[in-house]
Structure 1
Amino acid sequence: MMKKVNVLVLGVLVAMGLSSCIKDGETYDPNAQYQLEKPIIEEYVSEHLINPQYKDIQGYRVYFEIIEQGTPSSYKYKVTESAGNLALIPAEVIASYEGRLVRDNSVFQSKDDQKFIVPHNVIPAWQLAFLPNQLRYDEDGELLSDPIEFGGLTVEGLQVGSVIRIVTPSYLAYQNVPQGNDIPANSPLYFEITVSELNDYDYSN
């Protein structure tokens, strides 16, 4: 039987309290919201992505486009075993990115050489972008006897030098919670992400 990895992804992270910010008397229906966003996302993808691919996650479609593959096998996403449980070794990432609102294509943020810890402090859509379709390596970088299904967008996950564009529904971003004045509630988002460095996260730092 395939072991399950103890990693905060999708179902857990999507429910990380975002919907707890609903005002009294309101009901957040992610499926209904997605149906409203879907034609807007599809139009945006047709206009702004040259060779889009997509992956359906729990009924929500994420579009993506690989601009640069990056250096093959420059980083291995790994798991470690403790007391019979497998846990993802977080990746420390240096990346530049631009984020846009799908509704009007306006830039809400653009940053160079920012540090992230994947999967811990990124939205679910970024987890899908960075992490591979299967986790295949142990903490020493050796192949696992049984790969662990994760469901990332690519086979190896993002590598050093990778450039990816993603378009995500709000459900896999910030749902119905506005992010300051920059990202309104229920916003589908576009990102272009360029990866400069990838290393195993050092908990001692």
Structure 2
Amino acid sequence: MVKFKHIILLICLTGCFAACKKDVSIDDSYDPTPQFKADTAAISAFVKTNNIAATKDASGIFYQIIAPGTGNVSYLTSTVITADYEGRLLNGTIFDSTKGTPASFKLGNVILGWQFGIQKIQKGGKIRLIIPSYFAYGTQSPSSLVPANSILDFTITLTDVQ
């Protein structure tokens, strides 16, 4: 009888562990390079068509400093930034906006495109960032308004840096 109870317990435990197994496949073969090249070509065409005086950063992010701001902050991932911003897709669809009420974030908690771009201005500065999907949300879709592999176009005014 004791052996029977142990066997039943072992079967139950095995079943519990098997039920916990996630059925998620991780595609280690994903190569972001083709998407990055396509994004870069699309951004280059967008910048040219819309006559935007943007510079391509070494990372691949395009930016236009509208106002540099003042100060000499050395940014860290723990730096808290307060920004008034509007985020658009390249087709002009606005997917996010603070609508004049700045929001605060730790720099390390925002998308990589912001982490690279914000460092190009200081408090009071304004920048336009056109971010390849790799430095935004990549293959993820953060909302129904932002499809996977979306290039993002942000206009950001940095109202405070702490």
TM-score of the alignment, normalized to the shorter chain, above 0.5: yes
Q: Which has the higher contact order (CA 8 A, sep 6+)?
A: 1
Cα deviation, residue 89, structure 1: 6.5
Q: In 1, distance between residues paired with 2:117 and 2:154?
A: 10
Higher strand share: 1
Q: In 1, distance between residues paired with 2:159 and 2:25?
A: 40
Q: Normalising by the residue count of structure 2, what TM-score does the alignment of the two structures yield?
A: 0.75
**For structure 1, which runs of at least 5 residues remain unmatched after alignment?**
1-21, 79-87, 132-153, 200-205
Aligned match for 2:134, one of 153, 160, 171: 171
Q: Normalising by the residue count of structure 1, what TM-score does the alignment of the two structures yield?
A: 0.61
The alignment-based identity, stated in percent, is: 31
Cα deviation, residue 191, structure 1: 0.5
CA contact (8 A) 1:70 1:160 kept: yes
Cα deviation, residue 105, structure 1: 2.0
CA contact (8 A) 2:87 2:94 kept: yes
Aligned match for 1:114, one of 103, 109, 115: 103
Who is 2:73 aligned against?
76
CA contact (8 A) 1:49 1:65 kept: no
**For structure 2, which runs of at least 5 residues remain unmatched after alignment?**
1-23
Cα deviation, residue 27, structure 1: 5.1
Aligned match for 2:156, one of 168, 172, 193: 193
* Secondary structure, counterpart of 1:34 in structure 2: helix
The structure that has the greater radius of gyration is 2
- Give the counterpart letter for 2:69 in structure 1: G
Q: CA RMSD in A?
A: 2.1
* Secondary structure, counterpart of 1:100 in structure 2: strand
The number of residue pairs the alignment matches comes to: 137
Higher helix share: 2
Distance change >3 Å, CA 24–CA 166, structure 1 → 2: same
Who is 1:92 aligned against?
80
